[in-house]
Amino acid sequence: MLEPRRNVPLAEFTTWRVGGPASWILEPESVDETLEALQWARANGHPCQVIGAGSNLLIHDNGLPGLTLSLRRLQGAELDSNAGVVEALAGEPIPTLARRAARAGLRGLAWAVGIPGTVGGAAVMNAGAQGGCTADWLEAVRVVPIEGGESFELGRDQLEFDYRHSRLQQGDLLVLSARFRLEAGHNPQELRRETNSNLSHRTSTQPYTLPSCGSVFRNPEPLKAGRLIEELGLKGKRVGGAEISNIHANFIVNTGNATAVDIDRLIGLVQDQVEHRHAVRLHPEVKRLGFADAA
C-alpha cells in the first residue's frame, strides 16, 4: 500500500500552477493501488477527490480536505494495430497515446496531440479539438464507484456524451481505463504528418509559454467563446496575476503570481461582460474544486 502524504501543495498538480494543500494525497501507479487508495479513504472516513493531469482544473487556494487521488502516474497502454483496438489506463497522457496510435497506423486520435490531459480526463470531459472528440472513438470505459463496489464497464451508449459532457461528470465513478476502436491500416507517415500539423496549429495559435488550463469556456455554438471575449477588448485584462491571453482570448494565463481566486474572479468578470453585451452566458469547461459554490 502506498503511504499517503499530508499537506502537499496542489499547485504542482495543476497546469495553472495554483491551488492550496491537499490534506492527504496518493498517486497510485496501478489499478490495484488505485482500488487500495479508495479503500483507505473509506476506511478513514475521508472524502475522496480524483484528479488527473490537472488541466481544466481550478483548485481553491485553501486546498482540499480528505484524500486527493491523483491518477497521473496510472499509465500504460496496449495497441492492437490489426484490430484497431487501444486499451489505455486512465492516467496515460492523451498526446502520448495519439502519437503511438499514429506510429501504429491507427487513425482517430490525431486531434488529441495538443491536449494536456489524460485518457481518463478526456473520457470524463469528452475532450476534443481540431474537429474531433473522444466520443467519436471511445468504445467503453472501466469504472469503479468511489463510494465502494466492484469495477464494471460502461459502453459508449451509456456515457451520455454531448459537447464537452459525459455521464462521468456526476463524480460518483472513477475511470480506471478506456478502450478505443480506431481505424487500422493507415500509412503511419501520413498520420504522423497529420498529428504534427495539428500540434503546430495549436502551438502557433494558443499560449504555451505561461501556465493555463487550455480553453476556459465552452463554445456557445455556433458562436465561439474566444471571439465573443475578444470583441469586448478583453485581451490582456488582468485580475491580480491572472490575465486573459493576448494570443487567444479563451485562455487565462498565470503571469507568475496568480491565485485561484484571481482566476475565478477573472472568469466571473468575463461571464458578466459577455452576458451584458451579447446576452450569452458562457459556461466554463473548468472544474472548480474547493470553492463554496462548487458542485
Quick check: is 23 catalytic? Answer: no
The predicted structure's pLDDT at residue 146: 96
Q: Dihedral angle at the C-alpha atoms of 8, 18, 214, 165, nearest 10 degrees?
A: 60
pTM: 0.93
b/e 202-229 (16+ beta carbons within 10 angstroms → b): beeebbeebbbbbbbbbbeeeeebbebb
What is the number of domains present in the chain? 3
Name, in order, each residue with C-beta under 8 angstroms of 170's C-beta and a sequence gap of 6 or more: none
Q: Give a yes or no: residue 217 inside a domain.
A: no
Alpha-carbon distance of 41 to 24, in angstroms, equals 9
Catalytic one among 72, 107, 156, 164? 164
Q: Give a yes or no: residue 214 inside a domain.
A: no
Query: Do 251 and 142 have their domain in common?
Result: no
Alpha-carbon distance of 290 to 156, in angstroms, equals 30
pLDDT tens, position by position, 171-203: 899 999 999 999 999 999 999 999 999 888 888
Q: Give a yes or no: residue 216 inside a domain.
A: no
Q: Give a yes or no: residue 213 inside a domain.
A: no
Range of the domain at 239: 225-289
The predicted structure's pLDDT at residue 131: 86
Quick check: is 164 catalytic? Answer: yes
Catalytic one among 87, 92, 243, 285? 285
The predicted structure's pLDDT at residue 206: 85
Mean pLDDT in residue range 276-282: 96
Q: Quick check: helix, strand or coil at residue 52? A: coil
Catalytic one among 142, 215, 243, 245? 215
| Contact predicate 226/216, CB 8 Å | no
Say yes or no to pLDDT of 265 above 90.
yes
Helices (H), the chain: 31-43, 94-103, 119-125, 188-205, 225-231, 260-278
CATH of the domain at 50: 3.30.43.10
Alpha-carbon distance of 221 to 286, in angstroms, equals 18
The predicted structure's pLDDT at residue 201: 83
Query: Do 11 and 45 have their domain in common?
Result: yes
pLDDT tens, position by position, 69-121: 999 999 999 999 999 999 999 999 999 999 999 999 999 999 999 888 999 99
Q: Give a yes or no: residue 30 inside a domain.
A: yes
Say yes or no to pLDDT of 295 above 70.
no
Say yes or no to pLDDT of 145 above 60.
yes
Q: Give a yes or no: residue 251 inside a domain.
A: yes
pLDDT tens, position by position, 15-36: 999 999 999 999 999 999 999 9
Query: Do 86 and 53 have their domain in common?
Result: no
What share of the chain has pLDDT > 70, as a percent? 99
Alpha-carbon distance of 176 to 129, in angstroms, equals 23
Quick check: is 181 catalytic? Answer: no
| Contact predicate 174/146, CB 8 Å | yes
From 70, 86, 109, give the residue that closes a domain.
70
pLDDT tens, position by position, 210-251: 999 999 999 998 999 999 999 999 999 999 999 999 999 999
Q: Quick check: helix, strand or coil at residue 277? A: helix
From 70, 99, 118, give the residue that closes a domain.
70
Alpha-carbon distance of 175 to 180, in angstroms, equals 14
